[in-house]
Structure 1
Amino acid sequence: MITGTSQADAAILVIASAQGEFEAGISKDGQTREHALLAFTLGVKQMVVCCNKMDEKSVNYSQSRYEEIMKEVSAYLKKVGYNVEKVRFVPISGWQGDNMIEKSDNMPWYKGPTLLEALDMLEPPVRPSDKPLRLPLQDVYKIGGIGTVPVGRVETGVMKPGDVVTFSPANVTTEVKSIEMHHEQLAEATPGDNVGFNVKNVSVKDIRRGNVCGNSKNDPPKEAADFTAQVIILNHPGQIGNGYAPVLDCHTCHIACKFAEIESKIDRRSGKELEKNPKSIKSGDAALVRMVPQKPMCVEVFNDYAPLGRFAVRDMRQTVAVGIIKAVTKKEGGAGKVTKAATKASKK
């Protein structure tokens, strides 16, 4: 859910309209609330809300139930930060197919688009292909007769065969031999493309999920020594103080990070400082926190590389906080491993 949301251009928020089910989802610890807040904080600005199960006995395609849900969800989405005027609501039945692809005869009172039409109305995002390359690895495969094939989505920049790339924090530099998407060779991979690419002289043991690939000559990614983030605490049962070390999910990596110093408590809407160096923070609070990864990790400032600058904090099997990165102190890695292929390609 989190990796998917952090890569998404738009989200469909599915709501169970049945009596009791909607109420559970929108309650304080409900999934509807958590998913909507996660989507917004992880940068998903476009949303379609599906009021599902309209065919259920307790709902029976009721217009008043749909309007009640729409009113309550709109109020919550507005509180989270969404522009509610741009969020489309569609009453559907996934089971019966009402308003999914074709207009439903069971809800003549609904004059809006079907789910498919609502998706077609979403605005295609501007792809940041002019920025330096950033490609977080989702997996690394060893394919017989080909070799090592890392897989992931290009978040920013462009990658072409022949490029010399660096994987961080592994600190491995090599040449891209070829790029494939859906079993077809690509002359270049651009933002949004989920690709597999073959690299020379690199073993599967050298690189892993969570590493970030970038161009070795154009602002290559580097390991973070520490970073400062704006963190919103969603649901944590106690007080959080300096030294707290939960797991962070940022792009494709899943690594413990220590809250080294809670620098200030801030207003979550305006960002204004409310209290300097608070002893602790709790659910509902927003704060600026200096964080130290407990293992090598590569992150970026949200304003420079958004997909690598937002994260979710997981603890006790739930999302306890979300955040965006404001500043990063990068480690100057040594030479690291530079393959023969990279050295040769650099001389071309």
Structure 2
Amino acid sequence: MRKEKVHINIVVIGHVDSGKSTTTGHLIYKLGGIDKRVIERFEKEAAEMNKRSFKYAWVLDKLKAERERGITIDIALWKFETTKYYCTVIDAPGHRDFIKNMITGTSQADCAVLIIDSTTGGFEAGISKDGQTREHALLAFTLGVKQMICCCNKRVIERFEKEAAEMNKRSFKYAWVLDKLKAERERGITIDIALWKFETTKYYCTVIDAPGHRDFIKNMITGTSQADCAVLIIDSTTGGFEAGISKDGQTREHALLAFTLGVKQMICCCNKMDATTPKYSKARYDEIVKEVSSYLKKVGYNPDKIPFVPISGFEGDNMIERSTNLDWYKGPTLLEALDLIQEPKRPTDKPLRLPLQDVYKIGGIGTVPVGRVETGVLKPGMVVTFGPTGLTTEVKSVEMHHEALQEALPGDNVGFNVKNVAVKDLKRGFVASNSKEDPAKEAASFTSQVIIMNHPGQIGNGYAPVLDCHTSHIAVKFAEILTKIDRRSGKELEKEPKFLKNGDAGFVKMIPTKPMVVETFSEYPPLGRFAVRDMRQTVAVGVIKSVEKKDPTGAKVTKAAAKKK
């Protein structure tokens, strides 16, 4: 598989209700990743819950909780193929409650696809100061996603008069492809990250559908941290765009988190274009592109290198083939934009670092940690050490999308079976490493270069927000603000300042409140960049300059690992 096509990870991000799961589910369906009977079954289930148009999203949203709420809560990973790549898609949560999950997903991406709601109100909500279109673009760049594709999505507006007292969720049928959990279906949001796969002409793609809902931002961070590219879905409707791009909108936050987590490639999708006034409005598309581009440039992306694709996640316009409804648009379709993603460079020569996204107990097999290889190589028979605890064991087998691998390389999202280890001994945020080559250790403290972006007051010594680094989400203490610096030149402005405020940059000594693994940005970039969250929003971003590590005491070494030593 690896010889034919390159494997890339794509995170789908954007403001809640911009149509991320629906767009992703429809794309996977169009590329043959989902059986037609599955879609028909989801359509029947969606109709019973008055959510007819959720059927595609239900492919990704596995949790009952996600289906019922109608939002993505955690990140969803699927795969598809283009002519050039094997693509893993990370459908990131758009809801602000779940920004942590969006960050985790985005930090794993090679390219971001930004889905933009093109309808009047929808676009404005996403691109507003508080909108997720803005935030997602900024986060994608901060998280190291250097490539982006923008999709201006559209969706047929249904008459809701008869359903005013009901759940008003007929348009979720594609999203239900992703949202499998009952809680997700009933709320109509994605709660956890969903992983699916599809193929383009160039790539094998794993899709990470990250939650957009703010309640589940932690899950969005988890998904984003695994992506090579982010797809930012923007709601183009009146109010929808404005909500996402507002100061508190997830369009903003997701973009910021994607950039922070190292997702340097992005695709923006302007969604729901047929709900603009007039329908398929080029003027609305141009307005969205102008405003989103301005924000993405501030975040750190180069908008000239980001395709903005007007699409319909529900109807399928401009996803695989060109739509006659949007004949004024001369750029690539979403599928073509995915094949334009630059092939990511994979650091195979460095020691193994694999942050865990989840840990499962599978009957007849045992404990299976899941995550993306960030650096190095993972092989069956290898003795691995999990930081921060120092637990050491042998890897029995390695799988990706139910196929056994002889080796997993950087960028691969894998599950691996470990011997004599209980599920409770491993957690999301732990890092697998080769026990014989610079094994991962707990960080006693670390010094970071931080930029304050969105804090209402002043940050001083003793401040204790949540730090989102790779798949880890742990409160850290700002033990000592060492210097204030010029954020562009890096020149020192003040020694030991009393506080930092919005726009300030500085060096800060940080101490984790719980055991965690971080690395210097220079040695292991995916484990050395982070977002700082407080008050349900991203308040700062930064990179780690130095780490003081401590050796584990009383760490468990399994019998299988001891025999190999």
Superposition TM-score, scaled by structure 2 size = 0.59
Letter in 2 for 1:18: T
Cα distance, 1:58 vs. partner? 1.8
Matches within 5 A, 1:98-177: 98-177=317-396
Deviations 1:133-169 (A, max 9, x none): 0111122223333332222211111011111111111
In 1, Cα distance between the equivalents of 2:281 and 2:426?
A: 54
Which of 96, 107, 121 lines up with 1:20 in the alignment?
A: 121
Cα distance, 1:59 vs. partner? 4.3
The answer to whether the aligner puts 1:231 opposite 2:231 as a matched pair is: no
- Give the RMSD, CA atoms, in angstroms: 1.8
Partner of 2:292: 73
In 1, Cα distance between the equivalents of 2:381 and 2:105?
A: 30
The answer to whether the aligner puts 1:48 opposite 2:149 as a matched pair is: yes
Aligned residues: 346
Which of 174, 198, 214 lines up with 2:433 in the alignment?
A: 214
1:345–1:98 Cα change, 3 Å = same
Q: Aligned to 2:377, what secondary structure does the other structure show?
A: coil
2:465–2:532 CA contact under 8 A, matched in 1:
yes
User: Runs (4+) of structure 1 moved beyond 4 Å?
Assistant: none
Greater helix proportion: 2
Letter in 2 for 1:138: Q
Cα distance, 1:108 vs. partner? 2.2
In 2, Cα distance between the equivalents of 1:181 and 1:66?
A: 38
2:104–2:470 CA contact under 8 A, matched in 1:
yes
Partner of 1:33: 134
Q: Aligned to 1:275, what secondary structure does the other structure show?
A: strand
Cα distance, 1:337 vs. partner? 1.8
Cα distance, 1:112 vs. partner? 1.2
When structure 1 is superposed on structure 2, of 311-320 and 300-309 the one drifting more is: 311-320
In 1, Cα distance between the equivalents of 2:373 and 2:278?
A: 43
Letter in 2 for 1:10: C
Partner of 2:530: 311
1:17–1:52 CA contact under 8 A, matched in 2:
yes
Which of 517, 531, 538 lines up with 1:298 in the alignment?
A: 517
Give ranges in structure 2 of 5+ residues lacking alignment.
Answer: 1-101, 152-269
Q: Relative CO higher for 1 or 2, CA cutoff 8 Å, sep ≥ 6? A: 2
1:17–1:69 CA contact under 8 A, matched in 2:
yes
Which of 109, 112, 130 lines up with 1:11 in the alignment?
A: 112
1:17–1:59 CA contact under 8 A, matched in 2:
no
Identity in percent: 75
1:223–1:298 CA contact under 8 A, matched in 2:
yes
Q: Aligned to 1:338, what secondary structure does the other structure show?
A: coil
Cα distance, 1:335 vs. partner? 5.9
Q: Aligned to 1:301, what secondary structure does the other structure show?
A: coil
In 1, Cα distance between the equivalents of 2:422 and 2:125?
A: 48
Q: Aligned to 1:43, what secondary structure does the other structure show?
A: strand
1:142–1:66 Cα change, 3 Å = closer
The answer to whether the aligner puts 1:280 opposite 2:381 as a matched pair is: no
Q: Aligned to 1:264, what secondary structure does the other structure show?
A: strand
Superposition TM-score, scaled by structure 1 size = 0.94
Partner of 2:177: none
Give ranges in structure 1 of 5+ residues lacking alignment.
Answer: none
Cα distance, 1:17 vs. partner? 2.2
